[in-house]
Amino acid sequence: MTLYLSKYHNENPEQTTEKIAEFDFDYNTANRCYEAEFDGIEIPGQKPMLIHISCTDPQAYLSVVVFEGKTDVFTFVAALKNYAHATLRFPSGYRLDVHIEREKLQKA
């Protein structure tokens, strides 16, 4: 599974899109889930943010939580088939784009 994070300003996404991070999830054998965490997301007008994502195996239930400081500003829980995508809009006009793609988790 791979996490893609980017940000852009709503009024001109073509000129303002900026990649924040792209990395693969680690598999936590004790919890039987994939996990990823990224700290230091910078959005103009916001405090630095942290995103935590976990996905169970083999059921593929996905949990995305974004924290601003110690405050939970966004929570998203869903079943993950092949990908998940969410966009968070902030008062400054910026958006945080969260995209998760996965290879098949199920055994063939």
pLDDT at position 108: 35
Query: Rounded to whole angstroms, how far apart are CA atoms 62 and 80?
Result: 6
- Mean pLDDT across the stretch 10-23? 91
pLDDT at position 32: 86
The pLDDT tens digits for 42-60 are 999 999 999 999 988 777 8
Sequence ranges of the domains in the chain? 2-101
Nearest to 57 by CA among 35, 39, 89, 40: 35
Q: In sequence order, what are the residues at sequence separation of 6 or more whose Cβ sits closer than 8 angstroms to the Cβ of residue 74?
A: 64, 65, 66, 86, 88
